[in-house]
Amino acid sequence: YLRYTLPDESGYCEIFADIDGVFAFDPDRLKRLNAHCEDFSVITVQPCLPVYKGQLVANLRLFSPAVDADVLNQAVTKISGTGALFKVAPYAFCKIGYVRTVAAGTTP
């Protein structure tokens, strides 16, 4: 549920939410990715933040015209975990119930 733009001449790649939902990621994995090398960095909005379709949620900055494949592969290995690094959990509409109890002798 994310889409991205190709890097522009200044090296920025923007990542947008493709649906309304909650933006989620593991901050520790992101810190490991950013600490791996100085060729790129990723900044994001806060985790568990409600986002809407088309909202900018992350920005990838490339500091050099090209990133060595070995550096990129090592970074991917370093952040490996279960699932994608970023995701948008879509809102789910659910039926809910409301139960109210009134103690004897009181008015609601």
How does pLDDT run across 66-107, given as a tens digit for each residue? 777 787 777 777 777 777 889 999 999 889 998 888 888 877
Average pLDDT estimate for 56-70? 85
Note whether 86 and 59 are within 8 A (CB).
no
Unique residue bearing structure tokens 């994995």: 29
What is the pLDDT confidence band of residue 48, given thresholds at 50, 70 and 90?
very high
Instruction: Enumerate residues 6+ apart whose C-beta is below 8 A from 25.
Output: 44, 47, 85, 86, 87
Helices (H) and strands (E) in the chain, counts: 2, 7
Q: Is residue 82 in some structural domain?
A: yes
Q: Is residue 99 in some structural domain?
A: no
Structure token pair of residue 13: 């790649």
User: What domain range is 49 assigned to?
Assistant: 2-90
Q: Is residue 10 in some structural domain?
A: yes
- Domains: count for the chain: 1
Which one, of 57, 51, 33, 43, lies nearest residue 90 by Cα? 51
Give me the CATH number covering residue 74: 3.90.1170.30
How confident is the model at residue 58, as a pLDDT?
95
Q: Is residue 107 in some structural domain?
A: no
Q: Is residue 100 in some structural domain?
A: no
Has residue 17 got a pLDDT over 90?
Answer: yes
Unique residue bearing structure tokens 């994001």: 44
Side chain identity at 86, as an amino acid letter? F
How confident is the model at residue 108, as a pLDDT?
65
Q: Is residue 56 in some structural domain?
A: yes
Q: Is residue 101 in some structural domain?
A: no
